Structure 1
Amino acid sequence: MSTAPEHSGTRFLVPSLMFIALVVATVGSLGAPLITSVATTFHVSLNSAQWTLTIALLSGAVATPVLGRLGAGPHRRTTILGTLAVVVVGSALTVLPLPFAWLLVGRAAQGVGFGLTALMMSVARDHLPEERSAPTIAQISVVSIMGVGVGYPVAGLLTEFGGVRAAYGLGLLVTAIALLAAWRSVPMAPEGRSAGVDTKGALLLAGGLFLVLFLTGEKNLWSQHLSVAVVLAVVAVLLLCGWTVSGLRSEAPLIDLRAVRHPAVAGANIAMFVGAIGIYLLLTLITRYAQTPHSAGYGFGLTTFVAGLVLIPFSVLGFVAGKITPRVLQRIDAPWLLAGSAVVIGGGFVLFAAARSNLTELFVSMSVLGFGVGSFSAAMPGVILAVTPKSETSSAMSFNYIVRSVGYSLGSAVGGLVLSAGTDTGRLFPNDSAYTTTALVGIGAMAITTLTSLALARQRKPKAEPAAAPTAAPSPSRSGR
């Protein structure tokens, strides 16, 4: 595909990168608010309908490292356009009047788009001056999460008035616009880049990730077929170990594991993993609580659309935090901001655990969560990219997004397990106290995230002082890496 003229592409580069990141996040998350509607429309069980979300997460986790490696090479523009074309085709499959199996194929194709977020960051870092690239990368990271808050209410509204096909039709429209925006605006990668794909490593990682996410999403497998689940878990571990060995031996690994072992990168990925568990846990808790009917003794019995409105403060405050964060980072190191953001997210859990008797309290909890997540997401790339070469931007951030996807899946699974354990025999809905217990689990997750971020901050080398200003010798704990 030919490159768009430089003058026309550069002008719209930043808004295009933001729009593409928002679109792929929104379209990928469309499965969550439509699960019940899909079940009734296609006459399948809720467990089967759940796969419209699960399969998108799976395909995204598998595609992300491959796209990250391709994006590090000379064909990044072609990779972006080709991936968006796949997403558009998948969106068309979700709209056409085809059997349920084709809907799953379409959702898998849409999930591939999750891997584009890291490539958007790579483009921004290569083609924008430093004073613009850092804030842009922070905002891309934010919209990749806040897209959930955009997709839920819109999907719910369209479903109420036009059915599930109408909601998926919006996905087709915006992905087609995103493809056009990418064709007009995304430039070619800088010359001199080369990046081959480690096919063996890709297959090992894909197999391992598929099994990990499958096992976290299939709670019934653990309760009804424990031996099968254990065998699959062992196979997943072996595949991931094989991928690790292969990556350390390969001259062109899918993900540079040596770079991942850098204390800053490793710490950031641990913080993202545990933090993602907590973030997705609270998101699912609040939306599920809001839709629980009054007959359960709690909840508000909201429709999908109205429950989605609860996520609006999450998105709005997240965008606000994302805008503020680059300025805050000029005064505070990114790890310190990560720690502070984790404390804010933990505060959202505390509010939900202590006060959820009316919708206003849910809105407040979601607002606090949104502000914390926006700040956390905006600060995360700064920790990783500070020690990552420009040529490895997409690969490094791809690994971070794999970690986030696995964390999201575990957060959803943990929430489901705790609520299931708090459901009395013969009852459809869990006890109200089960939500409090789940919130306490989330508080623990954010406490671990905070401690990890603080450890990162203490390991960071202090900024060099001007030569004319003598300073005391650094302490052993802060000198060197």
Structure 2
Amino acid sequence: MVTGHVPARRITGRPDSALIGPVLVLATLVSSVISSFGAPLIPTVARDFHVSLSTAQWSLTVALLVGAASAPVLGRLGDGPRRRGTLLGGLAVVTAGGVVAALAGGLGLLLVGRGLQGVGLGLAPLAMATAREELPQAKVAPMIALLSVSAGAGLGAGYPISGLLAEAWGLAGAYWFGTIVSGLALLCVAVVIPSSAGRGTPRRLDWTGAVLLALALVSALVAVAEGTQWGWGSPAIVSLLAVGVVLFAVWTVQQLRAGHPLVQLRLLRHPSVLSADVCAMVLGVAMYMVLSGVTEFVQSPRSGGFGFSASAVVAGLVLIPLSFLMLVSSRILPALVTRVGIRAVLTLGCLVAALGCGFFAVFHGALWQAFVMSGVLGVGLGTTFAAIPGLIVQSIPARETGSAMGFYQVVRFTGFSLGSALTATILAAHAGGNGEPGVGGYTMVLWCSAGFCVLAAALAWFLPARSTRLAPEERLPADEVRLVEQTDGDDILS
């Protein structure tokens, strides 16, 4: 992530300074590895812990939930003199989470471990900020681009690898692998990354805002995920929804009044920022509904009249076209924007993503159709998610870039979490007598995803997206804008 404030770089000249870049790449891969332990392993979690798929879905949702709440906290803690310590602390928490998940004897303990691992979802921006501070000017842009590519490539490889490990050594084996990777990254960061003490003044952390945001998200997501099983009209669900709404309202007021808020909600006064963030949240919901639904569908036994009895490895392979084509399509964004304009790119990208969802909702009789859907979805999401950050940062003063991207992170992870929770409640509503979802549940997930993509297209086209008039000295340089598009476009799955 590109921040509005660029600290003075201090190049140490130590013998190990050449290792800073590779170590940051390794640390960035951790967030990709953590994400790869989500969707493809849900059926394995359900089988090993003897729970329904909708309940096992929490192994993904809880990590995304923690990512939504912890990303702005890590960003604020990692500002200036606390950056190295925050990076080390985040990796330590992720490593501990891997141990807890690997040793879990029940679903509750597994969710604790997965929640701790979710902290890793906020590490990539810290690594990129460290690269900006520790590397020479000439190496910053190439390294940030490499970190971005590493996040996307690590995710693409992580899906089948996690499935392969789970198939060979069980679910615990996959989590032990994640523990080893994050532990290795922790050790390398401790040895190689220089201290950031004394570099600037640490910014105050809005703990009240962080707690309110976490409680609001938990209340809302539990209600959405469990609404079908507990009953949408039950006192528990109604109370949770009401509490969630009230907490979000309180959090909004608190953020607007705080001297050092967790996120700058006032940035939503810019029309482009508002439209881009709303579009990002809706797309995030759609994307994680597809990720969850398709990986579970392909692993469903053929004896049920649908599915392909695929392994977790194959389910992971299905998502590689999505990851690869998101990376490729984000690289052609500048040419597309020059030719048709940003609003058309966003709208068309959303519609392409909707086409992919609709295709598999209609044609799901062969495994190759899942690969086609994944690729089409990757093209649509790659262009849209890469375009959104550029639309935001070109509409605000450069000094507000860090705050705007911090809020964008909260928005997109909230969308991811909501998409995962919605998948759980839809599949639970279409469960058969054996407790397993029927084909109607999966097609409903896909049609809902397509509908969300169409909604995002309408928002991109009709919501006001005019840019605020900025003086030349207030604008973020063009090369910085491209870096924002590349980093927040490519590692969107991380």
TM-score by length of 1: 0.82
Residue 479 of structure 1 is matched in structure 2 by none
Matches within 5 A, 1:325-336: 325=333, 334-336=342-344
Matches within 5 A, 1:391-430: 393-422=401-430, 428-430=436-438
Matches within 5 A, 1:30-69: 30-41=37-48, 49-69=56-76
Matches within 5 A, 1:61-460: 61-96=68-103, 101-123=108-130, 149-183=156-190, 184-185=192-193, 188=196, 191-192=199-200, 194-220=202-228, 222-223=230-231, 226-325=234-333, 334-387=342-395, 393-422=401-430, 428-432=436-440, 434-455=441-462, 458-460=465-467
Q: Following the alignment from structure 1 to structure 2, what is the Cα–Cα distance between the partners of residues 406 and 357?
A: 32
Give the drift of 1:412: 2.8
Give the drift of 1:362: 1.5
| Structure 2 counterpart of 1:238, one-letter code | V
Query: Any idea what SS the aligned residue of 1:357 has?
Result: coil
Give the drift of 1:59: 2.1
The answer to whether the 8 A contact 2:55-2:424 is kept is: no
The answer to whether the 8 A contact 1:285-1:435 is kept is: yes
Give the drift of 1:457: 7.9
Give the drift of 1:31: 4.0
Query: Any idea what SS the aligned residue of 2:365 has?
Result: coil
Give the drift of 1:339: 2.9
Q: Following the alignment from structure 1 to structure 2, what is the Cα–Cα distance between the partners of residues 323 and 189?
A: 36
Q: Following the alignment from structure 1 to structure 2, what is the Cα–Cα distance between the partners of residues 185 and 235?
A: 43
* Cα distance change of structure 1 residues 85 and 42 upon mapping to structure 2, 3 Å threshold: same
Deviations 1:21-77 (A, max 9, x none): 332132144143334434554566656544433332232222122112223444222
* Cα distance change of structure 1 residues 31 and 419 upon mapping to structure 2, 3 Å threshold: closer
Q: Following the alignment from structure 2 to structure 1, what is the Cα–Cα distance between the partners of residues 382 and 21?
A: 19
Query: Any idea what SS the aligned residue of 1:163 has?
Result: helix
Unpaired runs of 5+ in structure 1? 466-481
Deviations 1:369-396 (A, max 9, x none): 1222233333332223334566655543
Q: Which moved more, 1:384-393 or 1:29-38?
A: 384-393
* Cα distance change of structure 1 residues 425 and 37 upon mapping to structure 2, 3 Å threshold: closer
The answer to whether the 8 A contact 1:35-1:49 is kept is: yes
Deviations 1:87-138 (A, max 9, x none): 1222233334766554333222111111223434544566779998678767
Q: Following the alignment from structure 1 to structure 2, what is the Cα–Cα distance between the partners of residues 318 and 30?
A: 19
Q: Which moved more, 1:305-314 or 1:405-414?
A: 405-414
| Structure 2 counterpart of 1:240, one-letter code | F
How many residue pairs get matched?
462
The answer to whether the 8 A contact 1:87-1:113 is kept is: yes
Q: Larger relative CO (CA 8 A, sep 6+): 1 or 2?
A: 2
Matches within 5 A, 1:1-16: 5=12, 11=18, 16=23
Give the drift of 1:11: 4.8
| Structure 2 counterpart of 1:119, one-letter code | L
* Cα distance change of structure 1 residues 58 and 429 upon mapping to structure 2, 3 Å threshold: closer
Q: Percent identity?
A: 39
Q: Following the alignment from structure 2 to structure 1, what is the Cα–Cα distance between the partners of residues 340 and 133?
A: 25
Residue 34 of structure 2 is matched in structure 1 by 27
Residue 478 of structure 1 is matched in structure 2 by none
* Cα distance change of structure 1 residues 454 and 100 upon mapping to structure 2, 3 Å threshold: closer
Q: Which moved more, 1:399-408 or 1:97-106?
A: 97-106
Query: Any idea what SS the aligned residue of 1:255 has?
Result: coil
Residue 476 of structure 1 is matched in structure 2 by none
Query: Any idea what SS the aligned residue of 1:75 has?
Result: helix
Give the drift of 1:423: 5.1
Q: Following the alignment from structure 1 to structure 2, what is the Cα–Cα distance between the partners of residues 102 and 443?
A: 34
Q: Following the alignment from structure 1 to structure 2, what is the Cα–Cα distance between the partners of residues 148 and 188?
A: 29
* Cα distance change of structure 1 residues 41 and 290 upon mapping to structure 2, 3 Å threshold: closer
The answer to whether the 8 A contact 2:36-2:162 is kept is: no
The answer to whether the 8 A contact 1:352-1:362 is kept is: yes
Q: Following the alignment from structure 2 to structure 1, what is the Cα–Cα distance between the partners of residues 77 and 210?
A: 12
Give the drift of 1:251: 1.2
Deviations 1:431-467 (A, max 9, x none): 45x54444332222112212322346851369999xx
The answer to whether the 8 A contact 1:138-1:381 is kept is: no
| Structure 2 counterpart of 1:170, one-letter code | F
The answer to whether the 8 A contact 2:277-2:411 is kept is: yes
The answer to whether the 8 A contact 1:121-1:394 is kept is: no
Q: Following the alignment from structure 2 to structure 1, what is the Cα–Cα distance between the partners of residues 350 and 153?
A: 17
Unpaired runs of 5+ in structure 2? 1-9, 473-494
Residue 477 of structure 1 is matched in structure 2 by none
| Structure 2 counterpart of 1:87, one-letter code | V
Q: Following the alignment from structure 2 to structure 1, what is the Cα–Cα distance between the partners of residues 258 and 228?
A: 38
Q: Following the alignment from structure 2 to structure 1, what is the Cα–Cα distance between the partners of residues 27 and 312?
A: 25
Q: Following the alignment from structure 2 to structure 1, what is the Cα–Cα distance between the partners of residues 305 and 247?
A: 46
Q: Following the alignment from structure 1 to structure 2, what is the Cα–Cα distance between the partners of residues 9 and 186?
A: 10
Query: Any idea what SS the aligned residue of 2:40 has?
Result: coil
The answer to whether the 8 A contact 1:139-1:378 is kept is: no
Give the drift of 1:360: 1.7
